[in-house]
Amino acid sequence: MPIYEYYCPECKEKFEKLCRLSQADEAAECPKCKTSSKRVLSKCASFSKDSSGATTSVAGGGGCSSCGSSSCTSCHN
C-alpha cells in the first residue's frame, strides 16, 4: 500500500497516511485536530549517472512546478 501526504487547512500540518490505491482520492482526518484534509502532491528526487559514473540531479530539491519557492509550505501544492 502506498503512503500519501495530506495537508490540514485548519492546523496547517502535513501528515502521511498509508492507504489502499482505491482510497487515494478520499479525504483523510487530520490526526492532530480531526479536520477533513485533502491529499497533496508528494515531493521526490531523481538522480542519473553519466558515462563517467558521476551522479547528477534530474528532478526534485527545488519548489513545485507552480512556484519558485524551495519549500511547498508557501503554496501547499
* In-domain check, residue 58: no
The residue segments making up the domain with residue 11 are 1-48
* In-domain check, residue 19: yes
* In-domain check, residue 10: yes
In Å, how far are 46, 59, 61, 65, 69 from 56, measured between CA atoms?
9, 9, 12, 20, 21
* In-domain check, residue 60: no
Residue 15: name the closest of 1, 25, 23, 34 by CA: 34
pLDDT tens digit string along 10-68?
Answer: 999 999 999 898 988 899 999 999 999 999 987 777 778 888 888 877 765 444 544 54
In Å, how far are 34, 38, 77 from 10, measured between CA atoms?
9, 11, 16
Q: Count of domains in the chain?
A: 1
* In-domain check, residue 71: no
> What pTM does this model have?
0.56
* In-domain check, residue 23: yes
